[in-house]
């Protein structure tokens, strides 16, 4: 069993599809008068945020609360973290408080992995974005949004545009979308493509105009100035002209193609306001879907006696109603407290 969600690569195709199908059932909750389900009653979810976040933290908080979990928000500002407490001591504090899951965002790539594998905590660890590494729940909500609009992602073409180098969203999406059968093209200036991108199994291009007409979905990335320590492009204006999504470029898309952005977006930089507010843009819907997807992840990790992700045997014959689990994998059984 996988108790943690650290990387989009942890998810097999059947895991990812289970998350999407579960999210689909949970999405209807938003239309009900009582937006609450009892699945995680008595469980504690800690949001541990070492880096600023609006959408992700609120989204995880709403997801955990709608599943009736107790939520503790812990952010670097205004806590002992700003006094220089180490990740280890923070983790031991959380363990002492009896957290069943820790949702962690950290500026250092690999921090969630360290937390999950250090033995400091027994809880499930969910990566909510670590440095320039990964952001798996963002990839799941992006895939979920595309899946709802486009149906199966098999053979679909997704173009990811912009600051790939600093983007954990791009990395997680590239992994997950390929797991789900989509073809991914990364478009960026040469300076903003990471070293080793050849090994990702994706196509790369420097030419946005050539990539757009065949795309089923275009994902615009924010230029992460705060992570830039060198001149990656001559000027913001030149970047916008070559890699920004504007009305003219949107006109070259296929009729069904979606325009996406993980947020926060810089209007006028990577995307113009008229595109962001156009009917093709699913940016606001991505936020709505984020809550459903995070509910699905928390439910599948914490809802039962053990995680439903990473099952070795998937008895999907009867609509997957009962997933018989053989106790073959005894590797991680410390589990959330029952």
Partner 1 sequence: MPAESASDPVTDPGTHHEGRTVLDSRDISRALTRIAHEILERNKGASDLVLLGIPTRGVPLAQRVAAKIAAVEGIDIPVGSLDITMYRDDLRMRPARTLLPTEIPHGGIDDKTVVLVDDVLFSGRTIRAALDAMNDVGRPKTVRLAVLVDRGHRELPIRADFVGKNLPTSLVESVRVRLAEFDGVDAVTIAGVAARSTDAEVLR
Which region among 26-34, 45-53, 131-139, 155-163 touches partner 1 (by CB under 8 A)?
A: 26-34
Does 114 bind partner 1 (CB under 8 A)? Our answer is no
Does 305 bind partner 1 (CB under 8 A)? Our answer is yes
Give Cα separations from 236 to 241, 263, 266, 327 (angstroms).
9, 18, 11, 55
Does 328 bind partner 1 (CB under 8 A)? Our answer is no
Which region among 74-82, 83-91, 284-292, 322-330 touches partner 1 (by CB under 8 A)?
A: 322-330
What residue spans of 104-184 are helical by DSSP H?
111-117, 136-150, 168-179
Q: Which of 154, 321, 330, 331 binds partner 1 (CB under 8 A)?
A: 321
Does 319 bind partner 1 (CB under 8 A)? Our answer is yes
* Contact criterion met (CB below 8 Å) for 20 and 150: no
Instruction: Give the separation between CA 39 and CA 53, rounded to whole angstroms.
Output: 26
Instruction: Give the separation between CA 330 and CA 250, rounded to whole angstroms.
Output: 51
Does 308 bind partner 1 (CB under 8 A)? Our answer is yes
Which is closer to partner 1, CB of 258 or CB of 295?
A: 295
Does 45 bind partner 1 (CB under 8 A)? Our answer is no
CA atoms within 13 A on the CB side of 268: 2
Element (H, E) at 85: none
Does 39 bind partner 1 (CB under 8 A)? Our answer is yes
Does 1 bind partner 1 (CB under 8 A)? Our answer is yes
Does 315 bind partner 1 (CB under 8 A)? Our answer is yes
Does 154 bind partner 1 (CB under 8 A)? Our answer is no
Does 38 bind partner 1 (CB under 8 A)? Our answer is yes
User: Shortest gap between Cβ of 34 and partner 1 (angstroms)?
Assistant: 5
Instruction: Give the separation between CA 96 and CA 91, rounded to whole angstroms.
Output: 9
The percent helix, strand, coil of the chain (3-state, each to 5) is 40, 15, 45
Q: 4 by DSSP, 3-state: which?
A: coil
The number of beta carbons lying within 10 Å of the beta carbon of residue 42 is 11
User: Shortest gap between Cβ of 285 and partner 1 (angstroms)?
Assistant: 21
Which region among 17-25, 47-55, 163-171, 259-267 touches partner 1 (by CB under 8 A)?
A: 17-25
Which region among 53-61, 237-245, 284-292, 295-303 touches partner 1 (by CB under 8 A)?
A: 295-303
Which region among 152-160, 165-173, 179-187, 302-310 touches partner 1 (by CB under 8 A)?
A: 302-310
What is the DSSP code string of 177-245?
HHHTT-EEEEE--GGGSPTTGGGGT-EEES-HHHHGGG-SEEEE----GGG--S--SS-HHHHHHHH-B
Instruction: Give the separation between CA 156 and CA 146, rounded to whole angstroms.
Output: 10
Which is closer to partner 1, CB of 145 or CB of 307?
A: 307
Q: Which of 203, 323, 329, 332 binds partner 1 (CB under 8 A)?
A: 323
Residue with tokens 């819907």: 285
Does 330 bind partner 1 (CB under 8 A)? Our answer is no
Q: Can you give the binding site for partner 1, defined by CB under 8 A? A: 1, 18, 21-22, 25-26, 28, 32-34, 36-39, 299-308, 311, 315, 317-325, 338
């Amino acid at each position: 069993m996988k108790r943690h969600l650290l990387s989009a690569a942890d998810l097999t195709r059947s895991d990812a599809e289970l998350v999407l199908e579960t999210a689909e059932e949970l999405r209807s909750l938003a239309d009900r008068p009582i937006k609450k389900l009892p699945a995680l009653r008595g469980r504690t979810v800690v949001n541990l945020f070492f880096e600023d976040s609006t959408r992700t933290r609120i989204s995880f908080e709403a997801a955990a609360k709608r599943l009736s979990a107790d939520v503790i928000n812990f952010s670097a500002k205004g806590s002992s973290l700003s006094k220089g407490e180490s990740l280890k001591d923070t983790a031991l504090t959380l363990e002492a408080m009896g957290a069943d899951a820790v949702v962690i965002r950290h500026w250092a790539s690999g921090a969630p992995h360290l937390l999950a594998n250090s033995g400091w905590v027994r809880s499930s660890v969910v990566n909510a974005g670590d440095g320039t590494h990964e952001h798996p729940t963002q990839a799941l909500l992006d895939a979920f949004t595309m899946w709802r609009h486009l149906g199966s992602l098999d053979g679909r073409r997704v173009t990811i545009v912009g600051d790939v180098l600093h983007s954990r969203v791009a990395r997680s999406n590239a992994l997950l979308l390929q797991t789900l059968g989509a073809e991914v093209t990364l478009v960026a200036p040469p300076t903003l493509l990471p070293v080793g991108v050849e090994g990702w199994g994706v196509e790369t291009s420097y030419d946005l105009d050539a990539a757009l007409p065949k795309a089923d979905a275009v994902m615009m990335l924010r230029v992460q100035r705060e992570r830039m320590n060198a001149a990656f492009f001559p000027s913001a204006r030149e970047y916008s002209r070559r890699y920004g999504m504007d009305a003219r470029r949107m006109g070259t898309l296929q009729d069904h193609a979606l325009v996406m952005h993980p947020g926060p977006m810089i209007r006028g930089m990577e995307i113009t306001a008229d595109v962001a507010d156009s009917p093709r843009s699913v940016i606001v819907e991505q936020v709505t879907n984020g809550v459903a997807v995070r509910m699905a992840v928390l439910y599948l990790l914490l809802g039962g006696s053990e995680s439903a992700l990473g099952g070795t045997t998937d008895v999907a014959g009867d609509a997957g109603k009962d997933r018989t689990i053989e106790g073959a994998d005894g590797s991680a059984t410390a589990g959330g407290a029952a």
